Every structure is written in C-alpha cells, then in structure tokens.
Amino acid sequence: MTAPRRVVIVGTGIAGITAAETLRSKGFDGIITVYGAEPELPYHRASLSKDLLDADLSPEAVALGDADFWANRRITVVTGTSVVTVRPGHRSVVLDTRDEVSYDALILATGGVARRPHWMWPGVDVLRTRRDAVAIQSAMRHDDRLIIVGGGLIGLELASNAAQAGKSVTLLEATDQILGDSLPAPLADHFADLHRAHGVNLLTQATVTNATPDRVDGNGFDTPSHGHVIVAAGAGPATALARYSEISSRTTGIRTDGNLRTSVRGVYAAGDVAQTPHPITGLPHRCGHWLTARGQGKAVAMTVLADLGFEIEPGVPPIPIARTEQYGVGIQMIGWPQLGDRLEVTGSLDDYDATVRVYDGFQMVGAVGFGDHADCFDLRDELDQSLAPLSIPPARIGLVG
C-alpha cells in the first residue's frame, strides 16, 4: 500500500496557514502538518496594531480557528515546536525535539522577526507577536506620553490609535520621509500632515542613538524627558533555517523562482521570507505585508500541487497590496508606488478621497487609494495588465536535491 504524501509547512503565519487551507481545498488528500515556534494556534497578526487600545487580544479573539477548526480540515498544527534543520537529501526536517519528519514537499513560511537596532536597551517594546501587543496595549492604556521610533505602517498605526485616544505622541523617523519604502515623497508628506493635524509630533531626519524603555537620545530632535518608548523599526526575514540548511538565501530573504520554488527541489518559500523576481525588473524583491503573504500562501500551494502531479498551473505571487486605516481614513497601497516619479490623481487628496496612479515614465508601477475612492483589487488588476515585459531576465536558481 502506498504511503500518503506529506506536506510540511514551517510557520503558522498567514502564508503558511493559507497554503495549508489551499492545498486541502484544491484536492490534496495527504498529510498536512504545520509547525510553529509560538505556543498559540495561528492568529490574525494584522489585527495587532489596529485599534490596539480597545482591541480584545485574547487568544480566542484573534485566533484564525480553534483546535476543532483545524482538525475538521485534517490539518495538524503543532505549536511550540521549531524546525531546526532541513535535510534535503533525506527529504526530511529535524525538530527541536530531535524528531525527524519526512516530507514530499516542504514550504518555508517562517515570516519575519522584529528588527532590534543596536541602540535598543533590553525591555524596549517592539510589536511582532500577540504577547508583544498585549504588553504595548497595557503601556498605552497607562502612559499618557508615547515615543514611537519608526515611521512605517506599524509605527503610524500605533501613533494614530494613541493620538485619537488623547495621548501625547512623538514619532521619530530617521529618514527624510515616513513610509519611504511604500510611498513617493509627495504622498508621504501628505500623509505626515494628516498625523500632525491630529497632534502627533512627527519628526523626520531624527536619528536615535540610545533608547531605553522610557527615554530616547539622538540627533535632530529635542529628547523627550520621559515617555513609553516603542521601537517600530520594521521586520527582517527569518532566514536562519534556510541558511543553515544550504538553501539559497541572503539576509534579505530566501531566493525563489517566479513560482516560489527555492534552490532545493521539493522546498518552497512564501510570505515575508520569500524573495521573488520583481515582475518589472526581474531582480529579487521581498514584500512584508499581510495581504501579500496571504496571496503567496495560495500561490505556493498551487505550485506544490502542480509539482506533485495535479493538473493545475503553478502559482504566481500576486502584486503586493497593503491596507491600513488611520484617523478613519482608509489607505490602500498597490504595487511599488515608491518607485514612481509621476502622479496621476483622481478625486481629492485634500479630502483624503482619491486614487493616485503612480508612473515611472510611461510605466504604471503602483497606485494609492485614499478613502473609499477605489478598490485595491481592481487597481491591482489594472497594474497587472499594464506591466511591461521584464527589462532584466529573472535570476535563475539552480535546483539541487
């Protein structure tokens, strides 16, 4: 009797969980096992920074499903367990329990880890896990003055939430604009004005050199005498497992082809950790947004099924989408608007009810929607249809194993 095929997934974030559900919904009848280092069942990480002061952060409230939910789908979720080694020649992984588990396909959805710059003292809050969110929620409820370091989406969502609750908020960004990896400068400046209008002391070119739990020092700002410090310096990809297992990777991510296959046959990567060929340049690029990770989870499952012999086309990572809501204004970012040099505005930016198409020359590279003016998925379809052929051939990844 032939043994059932097994797919092993490393990571209980949205990419890994979506891959598991997609495999099952598309007809995979073998064994699906998902391993996660955190002690909790998979939960909705994107909700952690939104409305944090009033949010119910109990495990039950943020869970993506209870034990029965996963059991009914015949998906085994193993929490509190890390995969420490991949053995491609044996098609197996080794757990921190020293158990060895075989696989027919392995998906690395190891996600990201919060960046902790060298100037951070122990005990300074960062936001990555549910437990981080619980600690920050408690601090935000009890401290009237907050100092947020980092002008990315997480830092800005925390600033918005605190400012609307009447807290004194200082936000420090080291570069000359907030959201530098997401928006062109004119839109970033417009967004910064929204925060300042709500009382946030938002300072750019403010370099932190020392941060304790209640104080920061640096250049380009007057150091607040006190305040609860939260560092939102972004997240880096969790590539250690791939690097230790000789799977092609860099500190910037695990290298994959256009269908999320890694350099090792039978091993795939998806989500925050995957570095895929850019659809315009072909150069490796990575995107750390929740909606994009979910799309990659679906895509990687399709590729796995195709490689296992299902009559299905391999998946292709979707164009990135990020969504946020601040001060009641919904913002949708599609593609790579930070790469553009020309804006085409429909609607009213002053009223935060507009669609902005962003071009690099004549090539549309992204879009930004404010308010309910446009649907991000329609804009993604528009961008997808407008993409020019690759100007640089995609990097080839030599398969081994």
Dump pLDDT digits (tens) for 37-64.
999 999 998 888 888 888 999 999 999 9
User: What is the rounded CA–CA span in Å between residue 241 and residue 83?
Assistant: 8
104 sits in the region (left: phi over 0; alpha: psi -120 to 50; else beta) called alpha
C-beta separation of 130 from 58 below 8 A: no
pLDDT at 154 over 70: yes
Q: Which residue has the higher pLDDT, 53 or 92?
A: 92
Against a cut of 0.85, is the pTM above it? yes
C-beta separation of 104 from 7 below 8 A: yes
Instruction: Return phi, psi of residue 391, to 5°.
Output: -85, -20
Give ∠ CA 275-278-279 in degrees, rounded to 5.
140
Long-range own/partner contacts, residues 275-280 (CB < 8 A, 24 or more apart): 275/237, 275/249, 275/250, 276/317, 277/390, 277/394, 277/395, 278/336, 279/319, 279/387, 279/390, 280/336, 280/363, 280/365, 280/387, 280/388, 280/390, 280/391
Q: What is the pLDDT of residue 109?
A: 97
Cα–Cα distances in angstroms (integers) from residue 70 to residues 17, 64, 67, 129, 291, in the given order:
10, 9, 5, 21, 21
% the chain with pLDDT above 90: 74
Average pLDDT over residues 331-338: 92
Pairing state between β 31-35 and 6-10: parallel
C-beta separation of 199 from 169 below 8 A: yes
